[in-house]
Structure 1
Amino acid sequence: MDPSSGGPCQGIRNLVPALQSLGVEDEVVCLDDPIRTEDPFPIHRIGRGAGPWAYSAALRPWLDRNFERFDAVIVHALWLYHSSAVTRAIIEHRKQHAKTPKLFVMPHGMLDPWFQNDPSRRLKAYRNYLYWKLLENRVINQADGILFTCQRELELAREPFRPYRPRREFNVGYGVAEPPEFSESMREQFQQKCPQLEGRSFLLYLSRIHPKKGVDNLLRSYAQLAKNHSGTLPPLVVAGPLDSAFSRQMQALASDLGLTDESDGGEVAPPTVYFPGMLQGDAKWGAFYGCEAMVLPSHQENFGIAVVEALACGKPVLISKQINIYQEIVDDGAAIVDEDTEEGTLRLLRGWAELSNPQRAEMATAAKSCYTNHFLPEAAAKRLVAAINESMAGAIEENWRHDRVVAGVS
C-alpha cells in the first residue's frame, strides 16, 4: 500500500470508503514493511516480499488463519508471488472447509497486450509467457470472477494469452474519491516544492517517471514547441519519484534540451521544466488546482487515477489514446487526445496552446462534469457489490454484505 508503488494502492483507498458506506467491511493484507498510516480500514503489513517475484513466507500462513472471516477475496495485480499464492490457498481451503470465500482478481491493466508487444519488453514478455503457462493462467481461469476498471481493459485482456477462459468478466469501473476543496495551504505547499512558479500558470505531468509514460516524448515535443511557438509557453512540471535510473535520465534529457538552464541573471528563463519529485497531500492538490491542464502521453495506461483526479479538480487533460478511459473523457469535451508518439504529443501541446481562454474555460467546466458523470467511487462500489453478489450463485446480498472483503495486494 505504498503510494509510490503506483495506482492500485490509491485505487483501493478510493474504493474502500465507498464500500463501507454500503455496509461492506474491508481489510487489506499486503507485502509492505510494518508502518502506521492513517487509513480508515485495517491494513495487515506482513513484511516486504523477497526478490523480483516478491516471495513472502508469511502470506500463506496469514491466509490460512484468516480465510474463514471473509466472504470474498480480491487479488489486486498479477505476475508476482501473491496472486498464485492466494489462488492455491483458496483451492486447498475449499477441499477442507465448507465455508470458503469467493475469489476475484483485479488485473489493473496487467493483461494489456502492450506489455507483450512493446519491443523494449521482449525479455519480460517471454518471462510473462512462461509464467502464464506455469502459474498465472490458473489465477485467471480458476477465479470466480475477473474485475475490470473499464470496458476497454476487459476487451484487451482477451488478446495476449492462451488459454484464457475466465468464469466471469465484470466491468465494475473504478472510482476516484472527490478531492478536498481548494485551500490556501495547498497553494503554499506546492509553492514550497516549486518556488519559481509563484503566480505563474503551468502544465502538469503527475505520475511515475517510467518508460511507459511517454515522458521522453513529452520533453522533446515541449522543447520543439518552445522553439517554434510564437507565444509564451507555460512552464512544465514533471512530478513523480526521482529515485529511479529512468527519472535521472529524463532530468538529463531536459537539461540537454535546454529546458532547465538558467539565464545569465540567475533567473530561470521560461519556458522551462521543473522536477519537484513526488507530490503528496496538499502539495499534490495544489499542483492540480494550480495547473492549466494535465498532460499524460502514456504508451499504456489502464485507467489513470491522476487523470481522473485532474478532472475532479476541473482541469482539462491532454492524453494519449493508449489511456483506456480516453473515449469517455473526449466524448464529454474534457480532453485533447492523440497518439502516444512524439508527433502526437506535440499535437497535444500545440492544440492546447492554440485554444482561446473561453475554449479553455469551457473544457474546464466539462472536466468536472465528466468526473461526476463517470468516475464517482460510489458507482464503482455498487457495481463491485453486484458482481460479488452475482457470483454467490443466488445468495442473498444481505448474507454477506455486512461481513468482510479482504483485498490481497503486492
Structure 2
Amino acid sequence: MKLGVVVQRYGADINGGAELHARYIAERLSRTHEVEVLTTCARDYVTWRNEFPEGQERIGPVAVRRFPVSRERDPEEFGRRSFQVFETPHALVDELAWLDSEGPTSPALIAHIRQHASTFDYLFFFSYRYHHAYHGIRAAADRAILVPTAERDPAIGLALFPPVFRGVRAIMYNSHEEQAMIRAVSGNDAVPGVVVGVGSDIPSQSAAERFRRAYDIRGPFVLYVGRIDENKGCRELFQFFQQYLFTSQRPLQLVLAGKALLPIPDHPLIRHVGFISDQDKFDALAGCEALIMPSFYESLSMVAIEAWAMGKPVLANARCDVLQGQCLRSNAGLFYADYREFAETLRIVTSNRSLALALGENGRRYYLDNYAWPVIDAKYHRMLDTLKASPPPTGTIEPLPGWFARRRGTLPPASEVLARVPDGPAPRPAATGARTRPEGPPRGGSSRGPRRRRPGQGRPAPARQGR
C-alpha cells in the first residue's frame, strides 16, 4: 500500500509527543509499505515559524514533503480567540477563526492533500485539533485514518470536531480514556477504532552509573522527563516536592530532564540536567527510584510506558484520567490528587523496596502485553487489512452549515461541553477478565479511588498554547 502520514511538524530532532509518535509510526509502516510524510516547514510549536526548507527530503527510511506555513501564530490573538470559544457562547465561524489562529495554517499542504489524496491508499492524520488535520481530513475523508492524540481540555468540546470524528474511515486511539471521551462528544461508535498507543525502542542494555557519572548525581532520585512547564504540572510538582523535603528525613533528589519553560527552583536536591539523549534517558530510568508524571493533560504518556518497560514504578497525577487509568490497568503505578497523597505515595514508592519491585514487574508485563512493537505493528496492520476488505464508504463527511448558520452565536462554551463529558478512568477491557469498573485501588493503586466530577467541577486548567 501507499500510505501518507500527515503531521504538524516532523524531524529527527523533534521530540514532542504527537510528532515523535508520528515519526515512530511512519518508520514502522515503511518496513512493509510505501510511506510519505506530509508536514510543514515549522520546527517550533509555539510560533510555527518556517525553519525547514520547503520541498522533499528523506529522513531515515521515510520520504518527507514539507509545505510552508502561511503565517506565524500570534499568541495574543490565539489567547483571545481561545477565551471566546472556550468560555463564552459563540458561532461556528468563531471556532474556524480559532483554528486558523492556532495553526499551523498551511493552505499549500491542504491543497496538495486535496489534489493528490487519490494517489494514497490511506492517510494517517495526527493530532485532531490542528489546522492541517481538520482541513486535511475534510479534503480526504474517504481514506483518512485519525490518530487524535486528544487530551481532556476544552478543545474537545468545540462543535468543529464531532463531524470529523464521525467522518473518518478509522481512529487509532491512544488510550481507553481518549476513546471514551471522543465517543461521548461525537457519538462515533460506528467508526472502526482500536486502542493502540505507540511503542518505543527500549535498549537491551542501560547503565544507571553512566548517567550518575555524566551528571554527577549521587544518592536516590526520582525522575521527571519532558517539557518543564505549567501544563505538564511542573509548577505544582515543584511546590509539592519542596514541601515534602521540608518534612522528610530522607535526602531524596528530583532530577528533571527536558526543556525548561518554567524557572527551576534553586534547591540543592532539585537538579535540571537539560535536554538529554535517548541513551541518557534510559540510563536515568534505570537509576531512578520512580518516574513522576505530574501532568494534567496526556493522551498516553510515552515516557510512562518506557518507565514500565524498564521495570520502574510510576507516580502520576490522578487529575489526569489517562494517567490514573494506566496506573489502574497496569497495577504498576500510584497516583495522587493533592499534596497529602503526593507525600504518602512518594514516601511509599521510594522506601518500600518490595512494593517498588512488584510495581515495576507489573509494569514490565503491561508493556510487553500492550506496547511492545510487535503488538503495535499488528494492530496497525489489522486495521489496514480490515479497511481494505471493507466496501468503500458511500457518503462523505458532514458538510459545514451554510453562511447564515455558521454565524449564529448559539454554540455553548466549549468548557461547558467538556464539563458534561463523563470523566475518570475508563472501564477495564472485558477481554482481560478484570472488573468492568475500577472498584478502588488494586495492587499499586492510590490511597484514593477514582473520582467522578460534577458538571462545572473541573481540574485546574492552566492557560495552554495549543499543546
Identify the TM-score tier after normalising by the shorter chain: 0.7 to 0.9
CA contact (8 A) 1:75 1:106 kept: yes
Residues 168-194 of structure 1 deviation map (CA, whole Å, 9 limit, x = unaligned): 04123113123112356x8546754xx
**1:305 is aligned with what amino acid?**
M
Deviation at 1:346, TM superposition (A): 2.5
Q: Which of residues 211, 225, 234 is equivalent to 1:215?
A: 234
Deviations along 1:155-177, whole A, 9 cap, x unmatched?
Answer: 12234x4x544640412311312
Equivalent residue for 1:196, pick from 189, 209, 216: 216
Partner of 2:17: 7
Are 1:106 and 2:147 matched, yes or no? yes
Unaligned 5+ runs, structure 2? 1-9, 42-50, 74-101, 393-466
Residue 156 of structure 1 aligns to a residue in which SS?
A: helix
> Deviations 1:19-62 (Å, cap 9, x if unpaired)?
345x2333221123437785332222323463232111320233
The answer (yes or no) to whether the contact 1:150–1:325 under 8 Å persists in 2 is no
Q: Please name the residue that 1:225 is paired with.
A: 244
Alignment partners' CA distance in 2, 1:190 and 1:140: 46
CA distance in 2, matches of 1:347, 1:323: 20
> Are 1:347 and 2:356 an aligned pair?
no
State the distance in 2 between where 1:342 and 1:217 align: 9
Indicate if the aligned counterparts of 1:319 and 1:348 stay in contact, CA closer than 8 A: no
Q: Secondary structure at the match of 2:183?
A: coil
Q: Is the 8 A contact 2:313 2:349 kept in 1?
A: no
**Alpha-carbon offset, residue 103 of structure 1:** 1.1
Q: Report what 1:119 is aligned to.
A: none
Q: Is the 8 A contact 2:103 2:131 kept in 1?
A: yes
Which of the residues 316, 337, 361 maps onto 2:335?
A: 337
- What are the ranges of 5 or more consecutive residues in structure 1 without an aligned counterpart? 92-100, 117-124, 261-271, 397-409
Superposed, 1:311-326 pairs within 5 Å as 311-321=308-318, 322-324=320-322, 326=324
Q: How does 1:146-165 map to 2 (within 5 A)?
A: 146-159=171-184, 161=185, 164-165=187-188
Contact kept in structure 1, 2:177 and 2:321, CA below 8 Å: no
Deviation per CA, 1:302-360: give whole Å up to 9, x if none. Answer: 11101011111222111133252544544544212233x333332331222331x3333
Per-residue deviation, residues 220-255 of structure 1 (Å, max 9, x unmatched): 22112212223x23210122212x3xx23xx2xx23
Report the equivalent of 1:25.
34
- 1:110-149 deviations in whole A, cap 9, x for unaligned? 4x3xx12xxxxxxxx5xx75xx33x433322321222212
- Tell me the secondary structure at the aligned position of residue 137 of structure 2: helix
Aligned to 2:450: none
Shift in CA distance, 137/153, structure 1 to aligned 2, threshold 3 Å: closer
1:242-300 alpha-carbon deviations (Å, 9 max, x no partner): 2x3xx23xx2xx23xxx24xxxxxxxxxxx11122222332222222221210112222
Q: TM-score, normalised by structure 1?
A: 0.73
CA 1:8/1:294 → structure 2, altered by over 3 Å: closer, same or farther?
Answer: same
CA distance in 1, matches of 2:354, 2:390: 53
Offset of residue 205 of structure 1: 0.5
Which structure 2 residues correspond to residues 161-310 of structure 1 after superposition, within 5 A?
Answer: 161=185, 164-165=187-188, 167-183=190-206, 188=210, 191-192=213-214, 195-197=215-217, 199-230=218-249, 232-242=250-260, 244=261, 247-248=262-263, 251=264, 254-255=265-266, 259-260=267-268, 272-310=269-307
**1:342/1:300 CA distance change after superposition, 3 Å:** farther
Contact preservation (8 Å) 1:317, 1:336: yes
Q: Which structure has more helix as a fraction of its residues?
A: 1
Cα distance in structure 1, aligned partners of 2:330 and 2:163:
39
Instruction: Describe the shift of the 1:106–1:351 C-alpha distance in structure 2 as closer, same or farther (beyond 3 A).
Output: same
**How far 1:102 moved relative to its partner?**
1.3
> Which of residues 109, 116, 138 is equivalent to 2:163?
138
CA distance in 2, matches of 1:323, 1:317: 15
The structure-2 alpha-carbon separation of the partners of 1:49 and 1:140, relative to structure 1 and needing over 3 Å to count, comes to farther
Aligned-partner SS, 1:208: coil
Superposed CA RMSD: 3.0
Q: Do the aligned partners of 1:389 and 1:395 also contact (CA within 8 Å) in 2? A: no
Which residue in 2 is equivalent to 1:78? 128
Structure 1 residue identity aligned to 2:294:
P
What SS does the corresponding residue of 1:324 show, helix, strand or coil? helix
Taking structure 1 as reference, are residues 290 and 360 closer, same or farther at Cα in structure 2, changes over 3 Å only?
Answer: same
- Give distance in 2, aligned partners of 1:41 and 1:361: 39
Contact in 2 for aligned 1:103/1:144 (Cα 8 Å): yes
Q: TM-score, length-normalised on structure 2?
A: 0.65
- Aligned identity (percent) is 18
Q: Whole-Å Cα distance in 1 between the matches of residues 188 and 333 of structure 2?
A: 35
TM-aligned CA distance change 1:311 to 1:39, over 3 Å: farther
Asked whether the 8 Å contact 1:176–1:377 carries over to 2, the reply is yes
Instruction: Name which of 42, 54, 68 aligns with 1:47.
Output: 68
Quickly say closer, same or farther: Cα 1:289–1:48, change in 2 above 3 A. Answer: farther
Q: Would the aligned equivalents of 2:370 and 2:376 in 1 still touch at CA under 8 Å? A: no
Counterpart of 2:366 in structure 1 is 370
1-structure distance, mates of 2:348, 2:235? 19
